[in-house]
Amino acid sequence: MKLNPERAAFVAVDIQNDFCPGGALAVSGGDQIVPLINSLARRFQTAVASQDWHPAGHVSFASSHPGKHPYDSDDATGRALTLWPDHCVQGTPGAELHPLLDEGPYRLIVRKGFRHGLDSYSVFFENDGKTPTGLEGYLRGLSIDTVVLAGLALDYCVFFSALDASALGFSVVVVRDATRAVDVPEGNADRVVADMISRGIAVISIKELA
Give the DSSP per-residue string, 48-76.
Answer: EEEEE-BPTT-TTBGGGSTT--TT-B-S-
Active-site annotation holds for 72: no
The alpha-helical segments, DSSP class H, found in the chain are 34-41, 135-141, 159-167, 188-198
Query: CA-CA distance, 59 to 203, in Å (whole number)?
Result: 31
Active-site annotation holds for 130: no
Catalytic residue (one of 18, 112, 155, 164): 112
Contact predicate 61/69, CB 8 Å: no
Catalytic residue (one of 31, 52, 157, 164): 157
Query: CA-CA distance, 78 to 14, in Å (whole number)?
Result: 21
Active-site annotation holds for 207: no
- Strands (E) located in 66-144: 108-112
Catalytic residue (one of 14, 52, 155, 164): 14
Contact predicate 106/49, CB 8 Å: yes
Active site residues: 14, 112, 157
